[in-house]
Amino acid sequence: MSKYYVTTPIYYVNGAPHIGHAYTTIVADALARYHRQRGEEVFLLTGTDEHGLKVQREAEKQGISPQQLAETNSAKFKELFEKLGITHDRFIRTTEEDHKRAVTAMVQRMLAAGDIYLDKYEGWYSAADEAYYDASEIADGVAIASKSAVEWVEEESYFFKLSKYAQPLLAWYNEKPNCIAPAGRRNEVISFVEGGLRDLSISRTTFSWGVAMPGDPKHVLYVWVDALTNYISAVGAFEDEQQFDKLWPADVHLIGKDILRFHAVYWPAFLMSAGLALPGQIFAHGWWTNEGEKMSKSRGNFIDAFELADAYDLDVLRYYLLREVPLGNDGNFSKERLVERNNSELADNLGNLVNRSFAMTQRFLDGELGGYVATDDALDQGIRESARATAADVDRFMNDCETHRAVERLLGFSGELNLYVQQTQPWKLSKDGDTERLAAALYHVLEGIRFIAVLGSAFLPDASKKILTGFGLNAPEDLLLSTVAQFGKLAAGTRLSQPEVLFAKYETKPKEDALPKADKAAKPKAENKPEAKSDNNDKAGLIDFDLFGKVELRVGLIVKAERVEGADKLLKLSADLGEAELRTIVAGIAKSFAPEDLEGRRVAMATNLKPAKLFGILSQAMILAAETEDGKLELAQYSDNVKAGTRIK
Task: Report the interface residues with ligand MSP, using CB under 6 A.
Answer: 9-12, 20-21, 23-24, 49, 227-228, 230, 255-256, 258-259, 287-288, 295
CB 46 within 8 A of CB 28: yes
Q: 404: how many CB neighbours lie within 10 A of its CB?
A: 19
CB of 273 to ligand MSP, least distance (A): 17
To ligand MSP, the closest distance from the beta carbon of 185 in angstroms equals: 12
- Residue 459 CB, shortest distance to ligand MSP, in Å, is 18
Q: Which of 116, 21, 12 is nearest to 54 (CA)?
A: 12
Buried b (16+ CB within 10 A) or exposed e, 460-481: bbbbbbbbbebbebeeeebbbb
**Nearest Cα to Cα of residue 562 among 572, 548, 575, 570:** 572
User: Which residue number, 267 or 420, has a Cβ lying nearer to ligand MSP?
Assistant: 267
Residue 124, burial from CB neighbour count under 10 angstroms (0-12, 13-18, 19+)? middle
Phi, psi of 305 (to 5 degrees): -65, -35
Question: Taking CB positions, which residue lies at the least distance from ligand MSP?
Answer: 256
Indicate the burial class of 613 (C-beta count within 10 angstroms; 0-12, 13-18, 19 or more).
exposed
In the complex with ligand MSP, which residue's Cβ is closer, 292 or 541? 292
Measured from the CB of residue 12, what is the shortest distance to ligand MSP in angstroms?
4
Q: How far is the CB of 149 from ligand MSP (least distance, A)?
A: 16
- Please say which residue, 255 or 571, places its beta carbon nearer to ligand MSP: 255
Instruction: Give whichever of 284 and 463 is closer to ligand MSP, judged by the CB atom.
Output: 284
Sign of CA dihedral 567, 570, 571, 573: negative
CB 9, min distance to ligand MSP, A = 4
Measured distance CA(209)–CA(54) in Å, rounded: 10
In the complex, minimum distance from the CB of residue 10 to ligand MSP, in angstroms, rounded to a whole number:
5
- Minimum separation from the CB atom of position 207 to ligand MSP (A): 17
In angstroms, rounded to a whole number, what is the distance separating the alpha carbons of residues 643 and 265? 64
CB–CB of 356/531 below 8 Å? Answer: yes
Q: Determine the Cα–Cα distance for residues 147 and 141; give it in Å rounded to an integer.
A: 9
Integer Cα distance of 117 and 401 in angstroms: 40
Check if the beta carbon of residue 305 is closer than 8 Å to that of residue 274: no
Number of Cβ within a 10 Å radius of residue 81:
24
In whole angstroms, how close is the CB of 64 to ligand MSP at the nearest point?
19
Nearer Cβ to ligand MSP (11/43): 11
Which spans in 402-558 are helix H? 403-424, 426-431, 435-455, 461-470, 545-550
Contact 173, 136 (CB under 8 A): no
State which residue, 37 or 281, has the beta carbon closest to ligand MSP: 281
> Minimum distance from CB of 24 to ligand MSP (Å)?
5
Of 14 and 390, which CB lies nearer to ligand MSP in the complex structure?
Answer: 14
- Between 182 and 256, whose beta carbon lies closer to ligand MSP? 256
Residue 4 CB, nearest approach to ligand MSP (Å): 19
Choose between 49 and 315: whose C-beta lies nearer to ligand MSP.
49
Q: Which is nearer to ligand MSP, 327 or 570 (CB)?
A: 327
Q: How many CB atoms lie within 10 A of CB 545?
A: 8
CB atoms inside a 10 Å sphere around CB 536: 10
Pick the closer one to ligand MSP by CB: 53 or 228.
228
